[in-house]
Amino acid sequence: MNASPLPATGTAPVRLTSHAEVVAAAHNPKVYSSATSRFLHVPNTMDGQEHATFRALVDSYMTPQIVSGLEPVFRDLADELVRSLPVGREFDAVNDFGAQFAVRAQCAWLGWPAELEGRLLEWMDSNVAAQRSGEPERNAAVAAAFDEIVRERVDAASTDPVLSETVTAQLASELVEGRELHTDEIVSILRNWTAGDLSSLAQCVGVVVAQVLSNEDLHSRVTYLSRREADERGTRELDRIIDECIRINDPFITSKRVTTCPVTGAGGSEIPEGTRVILDWAAANRDPEVFGDPDAFDPDTNAPHNLVYGTGPHVCPGRELSTMELRVVTRALFGSDHDFSRTGPEWLTAEEPPLGGWAHVKVLFR
Ligand code: HEM
């Protein structure tokens, strides 16, 4: 998510991979600051009171009530998308389904027009290609292209009375500490709700589908839970299953921090002030010290240690929203009238670092 270049510090980055180290750093923002970019990222790269102020604003857009109000809308979107998928012919759960759903859901939530979907999907492709390339100029160009899309939406929401009830318009008229938000702040907030998370959601869909279709018992259970009427117990079980799938193969791999003072790392090594630190959520989520065999599927035991959505003051505010999105998607795919299965032996293509999860998950409805 923090795609911008870090300030130059002269020291090599330190990667924290154990569960204990990652949790300790995430909960110690005074030492492990999030001010890792020279660009504005609201609230991601903020610290202290400034972070708390903007974070409260962000949280107010993702309350449990708002998320449950969106659920029927998103369920219809997921069901409609599943009905449009081919039967008897393979499709890719990441690109033909996950990405499409992510874009449609986001447009519906923010009040963005359906005509934008094609442009957002193209942007997602360029973003993935830029991240794979690791070329800073390419990443900067892709980030600028996204800002352009968001800016157009903010302008439209601020001037077109028809859009005055949309989430984008509501955000554009917010006050923070008695003043209006600057356009750059509005764009940044919306960018952090969308740019990184469109891809995260598509990746999570791929991971959940791959994990469930790889395990016969799990496949039967998820199909059963998806086909029957939703109740609180079944929903909770499904949510835990989904969280456990993405713990095992976490597509949201890292977050960045920078040290504000010298600190002693694991094994007694000295980490100087100003060192870039990588919190490796994916590695921590597979730490054998905490999870034993990291591939053992145990949703209930592992839930309290799961770091897919981070921890500490920057813990993902979109957790409820993503969990609901993944739940409606899982129900739509596994609860349809068709048998849902993987294709041949080559059905999975691993994503290339620095990205995680699967680039392609080839599946079939029969
Ligand atoms: C799809 C699955 C998602 C995953 C796996 C995920 C994961 C994460 C993680 C690990 C963090 C912590 C970053 C840190 O500590 O530096 C985070 C932060 C954040 N996420 Fe998510 N996220 C997801 C979806 C979303 C969605 C749907 C939204 C908004 C609509 C969202 C908005 C944010 C924001 C704004 C932050 C920064 C919070 C802060 O700095 O206080 N995320 N996310």
- Per-residue pLDDT tens digits for 175-194: 999 999 999 999 999 998 98
Cross-strand bridge partners of residue 349: 360
CB 11 within 8 A of CB 274: yes
Instruction: Please state which of the ranges 39-43, 128-132, 289-293 shows the lowest mean pLDDT.
Output: 128-132
CA distance linking residue 92 with residue 206, whole number of Å:
9
* Ligand 1 centroid – CA 211 distance (Å): 22
- Output phi, psi for 51, to 5 deg: -60, -45
pLDDT of residue 7: 46
pLDDT of residue 199: 85
Closest to 204 measured CA to CA, from 316, 336, 361: 361
* Ligand 1 centroid – CA 309 distance (Å): 6
CB 240 within 8 A of CB 303: yes
pLDDT of residue 2: 36
Give the pLDDT mean for 340-355.
93
Give the pLDDT mean for 287-311.
98
> Is a pLDDT exceeding 70 seen at residue 297?
yes
189 or 352: which leads in pLDDT: 189
> Is a pLDDT exceeding 80 seen at residue 25?
yes
Residue 9 pLDDT class (50, 70, 90 cuts): low
pLDDT of residue 46: 97
CA distance linking residue 295 with residue 163, whole number of Å:
47
CA distance linking residue 20 with residue 39, whole number of Å:
30
For residue 98 and ligand 1, the question of a CB distance below 6 A is answered with no
Give the pLDDT mean for 50-63.
98
* Ligand 1 centroid – CA 365 distance (Å): 32
Q: How crowded is residue 129: how many other Cβ atoms within 10 Å of its Cβ? A: 12
- Average predicted confidence (pLDDT) for the chain: 93
Which residue has a Cα nearest atom 17 of ligand 1? 316
CA distance linking residue 229 with residue 251, whole number of Å:
30
> Is a pLDDT exceeding 80 seen at residue 338?
yes
> Is a pLDDT exceeding 80 seen at residue 4?
no
For residue 281 and ligand 1, the question of a CB distance below 6 A is answered with yes
CB 333 within 8 A of CB 91: no
Give the pLDDT mean for 351-362.
92
pLDDT of residue 205: 97
- Output phi, psi for 254, to 5 deg: -135, 160
What are the structural domain ranges in the chain?
Answer: 14-365
CA distance linking residue 295 with residue 286, whole number of Å:
8
Give the pLDDT mean for 2-16.
63
- 138-188 pLDDT, tens per residue? 988 998 998 999 999 999 998 999 999 999 999 999 999 999 999 999 999
Give the pLDDT mean for 259-282.
93
According to CATH, the superfamily of the domain at 14-365 is Cytochrome P450 (1.10.630.10)
CA distance linking residue 265 with residue 202, whole number of Å:
35
